[in-house]
Structure 1
Amino acid sequence: MTKSHLAHLAAKGLLVLLAGLPLTSRAGESLIVVEDRGGTSALPYYEALNLQPRVNSPARPQ
């Protein structure tokens, strides 16, 4: 590996880390609740997707 390649790799890694900072700063905030105005439910859409739970995610509170 050349020095320029390593510098490019380091710069790219730094950009990825900086891009993730806003996500980590909001991770502990609570959800925003919005008003239900009686629109069409999105539940049938999400049920049709047949989504599988993530392997490393904690259990959802009931």
Structure 2
Amino acid sequence: MQSKFFETFAAPFTKRCLLLKFLILGGGSTLAYVSSSATGDVLPIKKGPQLPPKPGPRGKI
């Protein structure tokens, strides 16, 4: 009875399938951790200009 249970319900959990599930779960949790701990000012549009503007060829900005 026990062997029949494991043959029936453990069949989807092959080595390749387990590895794929582990990688998806690990990648998802890593992505969630990084996105939750990231600051919002990484985009240039949020940081703003870092250097003063340089004049163009005719002396205008």
Instruction: Specify the TM-score bucket, using the shorter chain as the normaliser.
Output: 0.3 to 0.5
Per the normalisation by structure 2, the TM-score is: 0.35
- Normalised to the residue count of structure 1, the TM-score between the two structures is 0.35
Which structure's CA Rg is the greater one?
Answer: 2
Structure with the larger RCO, 1 or 2 (CA within 8 Å, 6+ apart): 2
Structure with bigger helix share is: 2
